[in-house]
Structure 1
Amino acid sequence: MKVQLVGTITLPIVVGAYPQQVGRNVNFLVVDCSSSYNAIIGRLTLNSWKVVTSTYHLPVKFPTEHRIGQVQGDQLAARECYLAMLAMDEQVQTMNIEEKRMMAEPIEVLEDISLDEKNPERSTRVGADFEERIKKDLICFLRKSIDVFSLSHEDMPGIDPSVITHRLNVYPSSKSVRQKKMIFAPERDNVIKEEVQKLTAAKFIREVYYLD
């Protein structure tokens, strides 16, 4: 479904009850379409407020200068909005399987090429519709530049933190809490163990022991 953008508008939004509240000017995109919602607040705004949501209980909590603020949703109103969305024109709200399949098709045919004759699994893809001369030059260039490809965890040891660093989005003043051990289905548990072993062998992560 394509919706034509009418324009944009900036509105001041205040969330919570005084003094546990936050606010900012939010840019909204204005569209002309049927919806049971007056406005939808995007992830950028929610992330800027550091909100934590519960889709089951419908509360929204966020840190403020005066402890934690909270906004409680109305389950009856949420249910009515949900049913209203389902009752809209089926052609607008849904997509049949055939349309979804066609959208997922690649825009061009790709051809697998090997970058290393000794290790056939080290490969990439190029467009199959390239002219033969251009394709040959491109494959030659890629094979000469194989040292810049990272095809496995072992190809990326010792990455400088100035290049990339993963950080947890945790509020600095929050107290650490030990969570209960999560139980996964056997097939998922095996996949998780394999990925952890790969990251550990590549020295991307390491096991840390805590006293409590």
Structure 2
Amino acid sequence: MIIGGTIATRSSKKARKTYLRTVQNIQLTGSIPKMSRIDNPFIGFSKEDARRLHHPHDDVLVVTIQAGDYNMHRVLVDNGNSADILYYPAFQQMGIDRERLVPTNALLVGFGGTRAFPFGVVTLAVTVGDYQQQITKNVAFLVVDCSSAYNAIIGRPTLNSWKTVTSTYHLMVKFLTDYGVGELRGDQAMNIEEQQAAIEPVERLEDVPLDESQPERTTKIGTLADPTVRQTLTTFLKENRDVYAWSHDDMLGISPSIMVHRLNVSPSFPPVCQKNRVFALERDRVVAEEVRKLLEVGFIREVYYPDWLANVVMVKKSNGK
């Protein structure tokens, strides 16, 4: 559960008292209609809604939304979250100008009391549902730079503004539109992939040096095999260490007569030049270093025709690099 965010702006003592009086007044004087209007569609869930899922499960509700011009995957729908959150790596990949961030003094408090201060607030047009049962509304995301398995979190502010009804059993969100009840289904495969990524290796690996004169050149083999098999495998690897590419210089490339890679795009579509993306200083240094290595060994070359340009995509490895 994450507490805080944009609703923290009314967290003063006076504001809380005013809010409490408003809630009590509604509870005391609000009338409940005896019969529901026929023109109001009913939101409910059926056995058919759960037919596509694997049961039993305790998966979280992870969906895909359209945020701006992007289809954003791995978005967590969380009723226990008091803020809508966009994580900074996703913010960068979307190529959003940091000038669009509106400063905020909102404070987020997560499980265990850990605190996070957002970079700011960015407002994006979010579309959910299928045509015509879909809605598009602006969502104010708090941009946070911290580790997460998700790209964004949809919390109570947006769920309430959409007038949604969620079901974790059915892994589905339903909401009212001008053309009936819209729905947004969760992706159970995303939960399965996440669980598989957290599985520990079946055996421990040990480092095996392949060249005594260069001890940094090692490989790994399993420890569950018979000692005789491991010794045979180690000897074989040492005898064939020349097949390893220890640096870019050792990668001689493949002749075009053997294999050529081409982009399978229609020639009727014009090339696209992406808007230049600004990276954080740390990531910018990594990009510059990798480009330098590739230039020195001749893997890439500088070109001067900006007909088709794509930004670098940064992916953090398991070792943190």
Indicate the TM-score class for this superposition, using the shorter chain for normalisation.
0.5 to 0.7
CA shift for structure 1 position 121: 2.4
What's 1:129 paired with? 224
SS in 1 for 2:221: strand
What's 2:277 paired with? 182
C-alpha distance in 1, partners of 2:224/2:285? 40
CA shift for structure 1 position 100: 4.3
> Among residues 129, 133, 147, which one is paired with 2:242 in the alignment?
147
What's 1:56 paired with? 67
C-alpha distance in 2, partners of 1:211/1:114? 46
Whether the aligned pair in 2 keeps the contact of 1:114 and 1:122 (CA below 8 Å) is yes
CA shift for structure 1 position 151: 3.4
The structure-2 alpha-carbon separation of the partners of 1:127 and 1:177, relative to structure 1 and needing over 3 Å to count, comes to: closer
Q: Which structure 2 residue ranges, 5 or more long, are not aligned?
A: 1-49, 55-64, 72-129, 137-158, 172-187, 308-321
CA shift for structure 1 position 182: 1.5
> Among residues 203, 208, 211, which one is paired with 1:108 in the alignment?
203
CA shift for structure 1 position 55: 2.3
Whether the aligned pair in 1 keeps the contact of 2:205 and 2:223 (CA below 8 Å) is yes
Kindly provide the CA deviation profile for residues 10-41 of structure 1, in whole angstroms up to 9, marking residues without a partner as x.
xxxxxxxxxxxxxxxxxxxxx94449xxxxxx
* Counterpart amino acid of residue 131 in structure 1: D
TM-score by length of 1: 0.54
Whether the aligned pair in 1 keeps the contact of 2:273 and 2:306 (CA below 8 Å) is no
What's 1:11 paired with? none
SS in 1 for 2:135: helix
Cα RMSD (Å): 4.2
Kindly provide the CA deviation profile for residues 166-202 of structure 1, in whole angstroms up to 9, marking residues without a partner as x.
4334322222233322211111111111111222222
Q: Which structure 1 residue ranges, 5 or more long, are not aligned?
A: 1-30, 36-53, 61-70
After superposition, residues 7-18 of structure 1 pair within 5 angstroms as none
The structure-2 alpha-carbon separation of the partners of 1:199 and 1:86, relative to structure 1 and needing over 3 Å to count, comes to: farther
C-alpha distance in 1, partners of 2:261/2:131? 33
CA shift for structure 1 position 203: 1.3
Whether the aligned pair in 2 keeps the contact of 1:114 and 1:123 (CA below 8 Å) is yes
Whether the aligned pair in 2 keeps the contact of 1:59 and 1:72 (CA below 8 Å) is no
TM-score by length of 2: 0.38
SS in 2 for 1:140: helix
CA shift for structure 1 position 57: 5.2
* Counterpart amino acid of residue 56 in structure 1: A
Structure 1 range deviating more: 159-168 or 116-125: 159-168
Q: How many residues align?
A: 149
CA shift for structure 1 position 211: 7.8
What's 2:183 paired with? none
The structure-2 alpha-carbon separation of the partners of 1:72 and 1:152, relative to structure 1 and needing over 3 Å to count, comes to: farther
SS in 2 for 1:75: strand
CA shift for structure 1 position 157: 2.0
Kindly provide the CA deviation profile for residues 45-102 of structure 1, in whole angstroms up to 9, marking residues without a partner as x.
xxxxxxxxx9225899xxxxxxxxxx9565339x88x96464647xxx697xxx9499
C-alpha distance in 2, partners of 1:202/1:74? 54
Whether the aligned pair in 2 keeps the contact of 1:112 and 1:125 (CA below 8 Å) is yes
SS in 2 for 1:55: strand
Whether the aligned pair in 2 keeps the contact of 1:58 and 1:72 (CA below 8 Å) is no
What's 2:135 paired with? 76
C-alpha distance in 2, partners of 1:211/1:132? 57
What's 2:3 paired with? none
Between structure 1 and structure 2, the one with the greater Rg is 2
Whether the aligned pair in 2 keeps the contact of 1:58 and 1:74 (CA below 8 Å) is no
What's 2:292 paired with? 197
Identity level (%): 40
